[in-house]
Amino acid sequence: MNETKPLLLKGRINHSVVFWCFNIAGEKWDIDTMCSVAKSLGIGSVEICGPELWGTIKKHGLTCAIASNGMPGAPFMKGLNNPAYQREVISVTSHMIDDCAAANVPSVIAFTGYKWKNAEDPTSGEISLEEGADTCVEGLKQLALLAEKRGVTVCLEHLNTRDGSHPMKGHPGYQGDDIDYVANIVRRVGSPRVKLLFDIYHVQVMNGDVLRRLEECKDVIGHIHTAGNPGRAELDDSQEINFPPIMRKLIEIGYKGYVGHEFIPTRDPLAGLRQAVERCDV
């Protein structure tokens, strides 16, 4: 890894970085390396981590802006939309909410889940959109009771179903693949502690019209993710999303939370992360 040169940031965007992206290929940074790089670039958070990593993150003077939900395997498959899994999801997420509250981690991620009755079997029949939404609302209302007491925000994520080229670039079968559908689930819950995780990459793939979507969803946005499209790669000139006006839009709508960079490096990860921070620091 090359030496990291410090960045002079404007301070209007709170940068975060998603750990798993830099731990699956290439140099495979460990958590200490990730934290050291993040701190040197002015990034204040390393996120989508569980309690086993929070001590190291805190040791480096950083926070974890949003925690994993604690579900094993592919956590986005078995979600709140499916009665077969909901009890387990609520139990595991509730424990994570308690852990977050104790460690001052502000948010935890949540997922609608896949549309199939057996999440791993597309031949098992489908949960209707209406039923899936109703079941999600029911589960999130239960989580909201605890989240409100603990001061932790549950962020429900919208994911794309179009890209089947890689298990982390898209999620064919995920029920919450329309941003309006997911935002409306959050609105129906009606809790200040249940919000939307607005992933710019996934929204671009499925819906587009990102600036207007941000305006329409401003009342429920709890967290932001970035990545280049196509391919969930770096935020460079080879991809189609124009990030600076999107970041300015976040400032305009009064978003004060973290912007988590969640791209999968295809080249020098340090250079790519530095570029992402520079491009989004408006």
Active-site choice (126, 131, 262, 278)? 262
126 as an active site residue: the answer is no
Cβ atoms 156, 108 nearer than 8 A: no
Cβ atoms 258, 44 nearer than 8 A: yes
Cα–Cα distance, 240 to 230 (Å, whole number): 7
120 as an active site residue: the answer is no
Encoded amino acid at 51, one letter:
P
Three state DSSP letters for the chain? CCCCCCCCCCCCCEEEEEHHHHCCCCCCCCHHHHHHHHHHCCCCEEECECHHHHHHHHHCCCECCCECCCCCCCCCCCCCCCHHHHHHHHHHHHHHHHHHHHHCCCEEEEECCECEEECCEEEEEECCHHHHHHHHHHHHHHHHHHHHHHCCEEEEECCCCCCCCCCCCCCCCECCCCHHHHHHHHHHHCCCCEEEEEEHHHHHHHCCCHHHHHHHHCCCEEEEEECECCCCECCCCCCCCCHHHHHHHHHHCCCCCEEEECCCCCCCHHHHHHHHHHHHCC
Active-site choice (157, 216, 234, 278)? 157
Cα–Cα distance, 5 to 43 (Å, whole number): 13
Q: What is the dihedral of CA 54, 80, 153, 56, to 10 degrees?
A: 0
List active site positions: 157, 262
